[in-house]
Structure 1
Amino acid sequence: MPTAFAAAWQARDPDALADLFEPDAEFVNVVGLWWHGRAAIRKAHAYGLAVLFRDSALTVVRTRERALSETVTVVHALFRLTGQSPVGGVDRPGDRRTVFSFVMRRGADGWRCASAHNTDVVAGAETHVRATDGTLRAADGRSR
């Protein structure tokens, strides 16, 4: 799954990316946007690949798999994202690391993802806290 996801990303192919998911799959992105169903996952990634990530590269760094049964497995993957489009007042976005959790199920047509969750890796932080102005900030209680 991680390799196929990265290949569809690199090809800027939202159809190939969506085809990795079951028709009623769930997907939660790094900021908590929650898409229900393959069509919504395709639509969100078509936009993202065309606008937010049009010149980006997504590389698989490391994966781990844990089979829960003969037909269900959980795959975690660390990805490196480079080349994100300028957005949010940042002209040259830096590289990002992200960890995906994929819940995969084997059916008659092979392995498909039932649920995916993407989480940004925030170096030096152990949680987020909401500031009085409403923004979320990375925080580390170990540095008190």
Structure 2
Amino acid sequence: MPAAFAAAWMARDADALAALFEPDAAFVNVVGLWWHDREAIRRAHAYGLEVLFPDSTLTVGRTTVKPLSDTVSVVHARMRLTGQSALGDVTEPGARHTIFSFVMRCGADGWRCASAHNTDVVAGAESHIRTEAGDLRPADYRT
């Protein structure tokens, strides 16, 4: 799944990306946007690949698979994203690292994703804290 997801991303093919998911799949992105079916996942990624990430590179790192049964597995993958579109005062966005969680199910048409969740890795943080101004910022209580 991680390799197929990255291949569809790199091809800028939202249809191929969406085809990796079950019709009623769920997807939660890095800021908590939650899409509830394959078509919503396709639309969101079509927009993202056109506006936020048209020149991006997505690479797959360490991947683990934990079978829960003969037909269900949880897949975790580290991903690295570079080349995100500039916005505001950020003219050259840096690399982002995420961990994807995919719940995979094998059915009549092979393995498809039932649920995906993408989480940004925030170096040096163990949580987030909301400031009095309403901003969300990384927090480390150990220091």
TM-score above 0.5, yes or no: yes
Q: Which residue of 1 aligns with 2:80?
A: 80
Where 1:134 maps in the other structure, the secondary structure is coil
Amino acid corresponding to residue 67 of structure 2 in structure 1? A
Distance in 1 between the 2:55 and 2:28 partners? 22
Q: Deviations over 1:60-79 (max 9, x none)?
A: 01100100000000000000
Deviates more, 1:10-19 or 1:89-98: 89-98
Query: Runs (4+) of structure 1 moved beyond 2 Å?
Result: none
CA contact (8 A) 1:82 1:95 kept: yes
Tell me the equivalent position of 2:26: 26
1:137 matched to 2:120? The reply is no
Residue equivalent to 1:56: 56
Contact 1:52/1:87 (<8 A) preserved: no
**Alignment coverage as a number of residue pairs:** 143
The offset of 1:112, in angstroms, is 0.2
Cα deviation code 1:46-93 (max 9, x no counterpart): 000000000000000110010000000000000000111112431100
1:59 aligned partner, one-letter code: T
The AA in structure 1 aligned to 2:110 is: G
Which amino acid is 1:71 matched to?
A: T
Q: Percent identity?
A: 73
**One-letter code of the match for 1:31?**
V
User: How many angstroms apart in 1 are the aligned matches of 2:114 and 2:74?
Assistant: 10
For 1:51, what is the secondary structure of its paired residue?
helix
> Scaled by the length of structure 2, what TM-score is found?
0.99
- 1:108 corresponds to which letter in structure 2? A
Secondary structure at the aligned position of 1:118 is classed as: strand
Provide structure 2 residue ranges, at least 5 long, that are not aligned to the other structure: none
Question: Distance between the aligned counterparts of 1:27 and 1:88, measured in 2?
Answer: 27
Rounded to whole Å, the distance in 2 between the matches of 1:87 and 1:18 is: 26
Q: Distance in 2 between matches of 1:118 and 1:89?
A: 25
SS at match of 2:52: coil
Alpha-carbon separation, structure 2, partners of 1:112 and 1:88: 37
Q: Structure 1: give runs of 5+ residues left out of the alignment.
A: none
| Cα separation, 2, equivalents of 1:101 and 1:47 | 22
